[in-house]
Amino acid sequence: MFQQSLDDLGTPLHEVTFCVLDFETTGGRRDSDRITEIGAIKYQGGRELGTFQTLIDPGQSIPPEITVLTGITSIMVSRAPKIENVLPTLLEFLGGAVLVGHNVGFDLSFLNAALERSGRESWKGQRIDTLAISRRLLRNDVPNHKLSTLARCLRLKNRPSHRALDDAKATGDLLHHLLEQASSLGVLGLDDLQQLPKMQRHPQAKKLRLTEDLPRSHGVYRFIGKRGEVLYVGKASNIRARVRSYFSTDKRRKVEQLLRETESIEHTECVGSLQAEVLELRLIQELRPRFNRRSKNWAKYAYVKLTLGERFPRLSVVSEPKGEGGFYLGPISSRRMARDIVDAIETVIPLRRCTKRVPRRATAGPCVAAQIGTSVCPCSGQVTEAAYSQIVDRALLALTSQPGDLLDSLRHRMLALAHQQRFEEAADLRRQASALSISLRRQNQVETLCSSGRIILESSESGVITLENGRLVESIPKSAPNELIQGIPRAVTDKRETAELWCVASWLESHAHNLRLVHCDLPLSSRYPDLDNFQIRKDLSSA
């Protein structure tokens, strides 16, 4: 069966071909009852294109109560064609039109049942239910939403009579009345019309008019408040559909408050999803919108630091990298996760854990960690700098080029704990090891991009993409605020710059199958093998 493409959904309503369909049946059960009459009318732009009408021999007697309701008797349909003989002509009449009905699910269920019995595929095209739309638009104007009631209250030209073509004509009149009313809510395309029934009694429905000029393309949208402040920034592959979804399907707690404060909606069209993702990130970082959680989370990010500037380096969790010397892993999404990473590393590599200053000569006994053998601590003065530097070198090697040794040891310890039925400890170690693996993978992605120089890629979605040391250098659209068009920094200096590199790396990974590498200054390859992600595997249960 014909099915519209996503592009068809954005077709202006006056260009859409609608086919209003109505069936009369022997009853209400699609599995045992049968169609007795078909009526269909095609419209485009309010103009009638054609009609289809025929009685159908259901192959069974018509119940008396149905005859009383419709006036159709068994004698009337005795010489009518069978449904399987009519289906090819009906499907040809439907073509690629949008199916319309009053409680369209009822008619569609009988159509699909007939198609299935005749060995054909189900009908999979687009559909519109005038019953659902009338409940959305006319709920305060009519006592109920029966087709007969609506035809009387709205003074429609045609009135239903429980005959298929008459009911189809009345439904067609109702459709055009509803389309006229819906236009005041900014319903201009087929996708808008399909989404309309989901916007039941939305308190901010009047603000749908703000979406009238939004395009159906990749880009970034901004909700603007009374004072011109940006309240929220988002990205979408279809800006119009995404913004309108806030009035219907988006049930997030703060959406209602966001819409209540919104006075206008701005947008910036982008060439593909990567440009949209990068622009969204830059806007959030610059404007720090009140309703974007991402704009509030950066303060919580932290780094794991190996303090190479000390005689006996140790691991610590810090908020920002500084220039006094040291190796940094991160940024990491929370200090708790950073602490898990430190614990994971110290589980395998016995770096010192005490924070007090190491004396030149031994003045006291070893710290607790050294006493129980979990670290090699120089606080007692019995470990030389040369011996300790070998431990530091091992840690640096594991964190920069050979993470497998560290992660393999963690998995072996985790399996050993599980084998000893120390499941809580095994779960804690798994969480810590997973945090370490994720951070190492991200750091490697960022460093690989930073060292790759200029990269030129081709994408069927985004065209030509140019990266400079991992940053997108394609021109930002002219409609973007001028203050957001910034130069490309030469090195990662803060969390915000790293976030853009994460964004690019994640996009490249998820779209790799649709990309063609045109040019790369330096080899674009990872120095890491595939890292253990510490997901549950069969070997855990067999340990």
* CA separation for the pair 425, 503 (Å, rounded): 34
Is it the case that residue 11 has pLDDT exceeding 80? no
On average, the pLDDT of the chain sits at 83
What is the DSSP code (8-state) at residue 209? G
Q: Is 175 exposed, middle or buried (0-12, 13-18, 19+ CB in 10 A)?
A: buried
Q: How many helices and strands (H and E) does the chain possess?
A: 20, 15
pLDDT for 246: 84
Q: For 93-112, what is each residue's pLDDT tens digit?
A: 999 999 999 999 999 999 99
Tell whether 335 is covered by a domain.
Answer: yes
Start-to-end Cα distance in the chain: 53
pLDDT for 149: 94
For residue 232, count other CB atoms closer than 10 A to its CB: 24
CATH code of residue 128: 3.30.420.10
Check if the beta carbon of residue 457 is closer than 8 Å to that of residue 464: yes
Q: For 322-380, what is each residue's pLDDT tens digit?
A: 766 788 888 888 899 999 999 999 888 888 877 766 666 655 566 665 665 566 677 66
Tell whether 535 is covered by a domain.
Answer: no
Tell whether 170 is covered by a domain.
Answer: yes
Q: Is 478 exposed, middle or buried (0-12, 13-18, 19+ CB in 10 A)?
A: exposed
Higher pLDDT, 179 or 208: 179
pLDDT for 484: 45
Residue 468, beta-bridge partner list: 454, 471
pLDDT for 42: 96
User: Are 43 and 147 within one domain?
Assistant: yes
pLDDT for 485: 40
Tell whether 469 is covered by a domain.
Answer: yes
Is it the case that residue 497 has pLDDT exceeding 50? yes
What's the structural domain count of the chain? 4
CATH code of residue 211: 3.40.1440.10
Q: Which domain holds residue 453?
A: 446-520
State which of 259, 274, 298 marks the end of a domain.
298
Type and span of the H or E element at 107? helix 104-117
Tell whether 538 is covered by a domain.
Answer: no
pLDDT for 480: 52
pLDDT for 538: 45
pLDDT for 487: 38
Q: Of 69-73, 458-462, 495-499, which one has max mean pLDDT?
A: 69-73
State which of 298, 327, 355 marks the end of a domain.
298
* CA separation for the pair 263, 211 (Å, rounded): 11
User: Are 121 and 13 within one domain?
Assistant: yes
What percent of the chain is modeled with pLDDT above 70?
84
User: Are 112 and 29 within one domain?
Assistant: yes
User: Are 184 and 208 within one domain?
Assistant: no
Check if the beta carbon of residue 100 is closer than 8 Å to that of residue 71: no
Is it the case that residue 421 has pLDDT exceeding 60? yes
Query: What is the average pLDDT across 108-128?
Result: 93
Q: For 394-405, what is each residue's pLDDT tens digit?
A: 999 988 888 888
User: Are 66 and 178 within one domain?
Assistant: yes
User: Are 366 and 308 within one domain?
Assistant: yes
User: Are 262 and 318 within one domain?
Assistant: no
Q: For 134-162, what is each residue's pLDDT tens digit?
A: 988 888 789 999 999 999 999 999 999 99
* CA separation for the pair 538, 158 (Å, rounded): 68
Q: Catalogue the long-range contacts made by 50-57 (C-beta closer than 8 Å, 24 or more residues apart).
A: 50/93, 51/165, 52/89, 52/90, 52/93, 53/164, 53/165, 54/80, 54/81, 54/86, 55/80, 56/80, 56/81, 56/82, 56/83, 56/86, 57/81, 57/82, 57/83
Tell whether 531 is covered by a domain.
Answer: no
pLDDT band at 191 (very low <50, low <70, confident <90, very high): confident
Rg of the Cα trace of the chain? 33
Tell whether 42 is covered by a domain.
Answer: yes
Per-residue b or e along 364-396, where b marks 16 or more CB atoms closer than 10 Å to that residue's CB: eebbebbeeeebbbbbbeebeeeebeebbebbb
Q: What is the pTM of this model?
A: 0.63
User: Are 390 and 328 within one domain?
Assistant: yes
User: Are 54 and 148 within one domain?
Assistant: yes
For residue 530, count other CB atoms closer than 10 A to its CB: 8
Higher pLDDT, 300 or 158: 158
* CA separation for the pair 504, 443 (Å, rounded): 13
State which of 131, 165, 191 marks the end of a domain.
191
Least confident of 29-33, 353-357, 371-375, 527-531: 371-375
DSSP 371-382: HTTSS--GGGS-
Tell whether 486 is covered by a domain.
Answer: yes
User: Are 310 and 283 within one domain?
Assistant: no
User: Are 347 and 290 within one domain?
Assistant: no
For residue 475, count other CB atoms closer than 10 A to its CB: 11
User: Are 45 and 159 within one domain?
Assistant: yes
